[in-house]
Amino acid sequence: MVTVTRARRRSPVLTPSGLACLSVLPTINLTAGCLHDCVYCYIRGYRNYPGESRVVLYEDTLERLRHELRPGQPKPRAVYFSPSSDLFQPASEVLELSHAVLEFLFSRGIGVAFLTKGEIPDETMELLIDHADLVQAQIGLITLDEDIARVFEPHAASLRTRLWQLRSLIAGGIAAAARLDPILPTLTDDPEALDRQFAALAQVGVKRAAAGVLFLRPGIIYWLTRRVPRDMLAPLLAAYREEEAVMRGAEYPIQNLPSGRRREIFARLEKAAEAHGIRLDVCACKNSDIARGSCNIAGAWPARTPRAAQPALMS
């Protein structure tokens, strides 16, 4: 049972992101909240989090977007969906709006980069493939273990569907990568399981993947302790009790896994990825102490000619 409440926006549709790897593109959220209810999701700690299985749908998105991109206004080369939600949530109202917004952006020659853990409707998959050169996709897949997925991503698409979608996107000519984020220490970082996971990704044609390790916030710990069974939760949280893993930050404090443990995990991931011919990108935004470069979440967009170049976000 999901609840979709409709509301009008109080702020612009195209929004800059605070994350360095997303700073090159404007971002769009179609909803506040997300119906996938991933237990590790950082939006659970946000002030506007509407609760589990509830979203607020911004019903005036298309009308506002038309206005923000009216003739004479700077046109971004691409936009990113979605820093705090998902384009393909299990509710027809959300999926219809997603399709309409994508159609509008493509009609204006604007590209889209997205990360999803949802099921892409057939009609929207066709739309994406018809505009393959304007699409860069990441499909989130943190594990191949159904039990872990059911606990941590209760309403996301099945693992089989996500693998199938990767195959369809790649076969359709879309630059599509897998995203193993977050890796859950002690639960999804076993070398054999990672090897099986990268083998499955290689089988559907994946050549590129990105990864990040779970970080904790007070709001995330609150939900983990309520939704994750003890036999999974105890070893997971124990990994964060080491001396170095202290909470940092004021408004939304973050607790990261100690750098040594993260290094070990990324080394394991790299080894498994390489064995299957997949290039692995580590998110440097969340691992500035041990990684360099981008996790490619915003995709790679060709530079515009100087005449068409736009300032800041719009370039």
Interface ranges with ligand SF4 (CB under 6 A):
34, 36-38, 41, 43, 85-86, 117
Q: Which residue, 84 or 256, has its beta carbon nearer to ligand SF4?
A: 84
Distance in Å, CB of 212 to ligand SF4, minimum: 11
List residues bridging with 3 in a β-sheet. 54
Cα separation of 99 and 190, whole Å? 38
What angle in degrees, to the nearest 10, is found between the helix axes of 218-227 and 230-238?
Answer: 150
Distance in Å, CB of 115 to ligand SF4, minimum: 7
Query: Is there a contact between 162 and 179 (Cβ–Cβ < 8 Å)?
Result: no
User: Sign of the C-alpha dihedral, residues 296, 306, 315, 291?
Assistant: positive
Q: Which residue, 154 or 258, has its beta carbon nearer to ligand SF4?
A: 154
Distance in Å, CB of 50 to ligand SF4, minimum: 12
Q: Which residue, 69 or 82, has its beta carbon nearer to ligand SF4?
A: 82
Distance in Å, CB of 288 to ligand SF4, minimum: 21
Cα separation of 284 and 119, whole Å? 28
List residues bridging with 114 in a β-sheet. 81, 137
263: DSSP letter: H
Distance in Å, CB of 29 to ligand SF4, minimum: 9
Round the CA-based radius of gyration of the chain to a whole number and report it. 19
Q: Which helix (H) or strand (E) holds 204?
A: none
Phi and psi dihedrals of 257, rounded to 5? -70, 145
Query: Is there a contact between 33 and 5 (Cβ–Cβ < 8 Å)?
Result: no
Q: Which residue, 28 or 69, has its beta carbon nearer to ligand SF4?
A: 28
Residues in the chain: 315
Q: Which residue, 85 or 168, has its beta carbon nearer to ligand SF4?
A: 85
Cα separation of 35 and 175, whole Å? 26
Distance in Å, CB of 143 to ligand SF4, minimum: 14
Q: Which residue, 36 or 131, has its beta carbon nearer to ligand SF4?
A: 36
Distance in Å, CB of 264 to ligand SF4, minimum: 24
Q: Which residue, 38 or 151, has its beta carbon nearer to ligand SF4?
A: 38
Q: Which two tokens stand for residue 42?
A: 């950082």
Distance in Å, CB of 82 to ligand SF4, minimum: 7
User: Sign of the C-alpha dihedral, residues 43, 45, 50, 56?
Assistant: negative
Distance in Å, CB of 197 to ligand SF4, minimum: 18
Cα separation of 287 and 264, whole Å? 13
The Cβ of residue 19 has, within 10 Å, a number of other Cβ atoms equal to 16
Phi and psi dihedrals of 284, rounded to 5? -75, -20
Q: Which residue, 41 or 174, has its beta carbon nearer to ligand SF4?
A: 41
Q: Which residue, 45 or 258, has its beta carbon nearer to ligand SF4?
A: 45
